[in-house]
A = this chain, B = another copy of it.
């Protein structure tokens, strides 16, 4: 049986960037939390949409034809097959120094989605 998840408590259990934690599953999809800083690599998921909900910080999701910027309380779904590159913004922020430039977010993808190709900075999903 699933358990309730307190996101702040889960975020407090790790410090690594681009190292998603699995906090719940929904119909075979991983509900993950992740801390990111700097830029990811360009990639696309041929078979699945990619759900982002930013909780803290600012994230640019670069697309080939535009950039979508998400702040806290903003979500975006990258449609399947669409190339994108997430980049954490380094703006002036009223947050503790250790968290400046860091983005905390929820990401939902089908379980086992790791199709980022070689050279990906992302680490395997760990049970949170």
Contacts and interface: CB of A to CB of B under 8 A. Distances in A.
Interface of A: 1-8, 23-27, 29, 31, 48-49, 51, 53, 55, 68-70, 73-80, 82, 106, 108, 110
A109 to B, nearest CB: 9
Contacts of A2: 76-79
Contact of A5 (B8, B76, B79, B80): B76
A108 B69 CA distance: 23
Contacts of A3: 76
A5 B48 contact: no
A61 B70 CA distance: 30
Nearest to A51: B26
A-B interface, 6 closest residue pairs, ranked by CB to CB distance from nearest: A4-B76, A7-B73, A26-B51, A2-B77, A24-B77, A4-B68
Counting chain B CB atoms within 10 Å of each CB, which of A4, A76, A108 scores highest?
Answer: A4
B5 A74 contact: yes
Nearest to A28: B49
B75 A7 contact: yes
Nearest to A76: B4
Given A4-B76, A31-B51, A31-B77, 9 more contacts: A2-B76, A4-B68, A4-B70, A7-B73, A25-B49, A26-B51, A27-B48, A31-B75, A108-B108
